[in-house]
Amino acid sequence: MTSPPLGLYLHIPFCRQRCDFCAFYLEIHRENRAEAFVRSLKHEITLSAQQHVAANRPVQSVYFGGGTPTALAAAQLTTILSKVRTHLSLTLDCEITVEAHPSTISEEDLRQLYQAGVTRMSFGAESMEDGDLARIGRPGSVSETVTAVARARGAGFTNINLDVMYGLPGQRLESWQRTLAHCLALAPTHLSCYALTVEDDTRLAANIQRRRSPEPDEGLQIEMDEAAQRILGDAGYEQYEVSNYAKPGYACRHNLLYWTNGEYLGCGPSAQSYLDGTRFGNVADLTVYETALTASRLPIEDHTRLSNDEQLRDAVIFGLRLIRGIPSQHLHRHAQNYGHATVTAQLLAQQLIEEDGAYSRLSARGRLQADTIAGLLY
């Protein structure tokens, strides 16, 4: 029996600074620390391939995420990719994505990445209004995003994503529509549009608590979500997941693995994996991570074997993020398994989940509360 394709996620934990909204594990970039990390990551790739991946199992996607992967030099990223190719079997059409902050990547960097086989660049624009960026403590400028996209095209990239956020402090519907229009003028193949969520222990949460920044307005976020659906739909983008839009044929294959309960291997501090019905995750501490690998031990700190009911639970929770939704029978079987029949009925009555016969999906309001709904159904 042939094993299904696998995804590989590589977590690069470095950033130049932490944005106000960010709650991800990261380290402030220092060159000597970065060099040691690259050595450790390459060793982890070798050990993980030997211990977790069946020989010749096809890898359909590689995703460099963070953090800011391009805080590393392009030469460092390409040596990591070379190590991946040495120990894993990438499919001929493997999707290889590198996330980038527009200010941390040069024309030469992009040429090196393209020549090394990277197929997709994902730029964290966040907004196409400089005032929005300033209010969320995001370094860089709109002009840097414009330049980065042009440089990526010049290097040969034809698959380009822009990440943008809505519901930002002080952002109005009109300014969000301008951001979308500016993005469309750059003609990316993919757009990820994320509603701002306020995470605990972030500067943004502290600013809201001190009334230096307003709380997100759910009603306005719904209007912004609806505007994105309308504007991007009219421009030929298909919404295939709560936050993601793509031109035909350009849906992100790696992220689809997560939402369809596919299997993936994660390397790097805090990276998560799902293989053979088991979820496991690495330590979210760079020092502990490197110490383990120096001793040729994988830096795994949690390891959970999922029952059939738990696998169905995860398929329901992740699958609800897809616009097509999930089979209604899966939702109701999960509700029965976990005693969630009342909660599920309430979500349906509140029109946060909609059903149209065979399929169940999140409503427009439900999509804004996707994480909360996931918690209720867990």
Express each pLDDT in 145-200 by its tens digit. Answer: 999 999 999 999 999 999 999 999 999 999 999 999 999 999 999 999 999 888 88
Question: Distance between terminal CA atoms of the chain?
Answer: 32
Is the pLDDT assigned to residue 216 strictly greater than 80?
Answer: yes
Distance of alpha carbon 15 from alpha carbon 13, whole angstroms: 7
**49-53, 71-75, 118-122, 248-252: least confident range:** 49-53
Q: pLDDT tens, 299-319? A: 999 899 999 999 999 999 999
The pair of structure tokens assigned to 31 is: 């060159």
User: How crowded is residue 345: how many other Cβ atoms within 10 Å of its Cβ?
Assistant: 13
CB within 8 A of 368, min separation 6: which ones? 195, 218, 221, 222, 225
Task: List the strands of the sheet with 272-275, edge to edge.
Answer: 238-241, 244-246, 190-195, 160-166, 120-126, 89-100, 58-66, 6-12, 264-267, 272-275, 278-282, 300-305
Q: Which of these CATH numbers, 3.20.20.70, 3.40.47.10, 3.40.30.10, 3.30.479.30, describes 6-259?
A: 3.20.20.70
User: Which sign does the torsion angle of CA 14, 17, 22, 23 carry?
Assistant: positive
350 pLDDT band (50/70/90 cuts)?
very high
1 pLDDT band (50/70/90 cuts)?
low
33 pLDDT band (50/70/90 cuts)?
very high
pLDDT at position 201, please?
Answer: 84
Q: Is the pTM of this model over 0.85?
A: yes
In the numeric block, the tokens 């197929």 are attached to: 119
Reduced 3-state DSSP string for the chain: CCCCCEEEEEEECEECCCCCCCCCCCEECCHHHHHHHHHHHHHHHHHHHHHHCCCCCEEEEEEEEECCHHHCCHHHHHHHHHHHHHHCEEEEEEEEEEEECHHHCCHHHHHHHHHCCCCEEEEEEECCCHHHHHHCCCCCCHHHHHHHHHHHHHHCCCCEEEEEEECCCCCCHHHHHHHHHHHHHCCCCEEEEEECCCCCCCHHHHHHHCCCCCCCCHHHHHHHHHHHHHHHHHCCCEEEECCEEECCCCCCHHHHHHHCCCCEEEECCCCEEEECCEEEEECCCHHHHHHHHHCCCCCEEEEEECCHHHHHHHHHHHHCCECCCEEHHHHHHHHHHHCCHHHHHHHHHCCCEEECCCEEEECHHHHHCHHHHHHHHC
Is the pLDDT assigned to residue 70 strictly greater than 90?
Answer: yes
Residues of the chain with CATH 3.20.20.70: 6-259
Q: Which residues pair with 95 in a beta bridge?
A: 61
Distance of alpha carbon 145 from alpha carbon 183, whole angstroms: 10
The pair of structure tokens assigned to 230 is: 């309308």
Is the pLDDT assigned to residue 335 strictly greater than 80?
Answer: yes
Distance of alpha carbon 115 from alpha carbon 124, whole angstroms: 22
Q: pLDDT tens, 227-277? A: 999 999 999 999 999 999 999 999 999 999 999 999 999 999 999 999 999
Closest to 87 measured CA to CA, from 119, 41, 37: 41
Q: Which residues pair with 98 in a beta bridge?
A: 64, 121
Distance of alpha carbon 329 from alpha carbon 185, whole angstroms: 42
Residue type, 299: P
Average pLDDT value over all residues in the chain: 94
pLDDT at position 218, please?
Answer: 86
Cβ proximity of 376 and 341 under 8 Å: no
Distance of alpha carbon 99 from alpha carbon 101, whole angstroms: 7
Is the pLDDT assigned to residue 122 strictly greater than 80?
Answer: yes
pLDDT at position 28, please?
Answer: 86
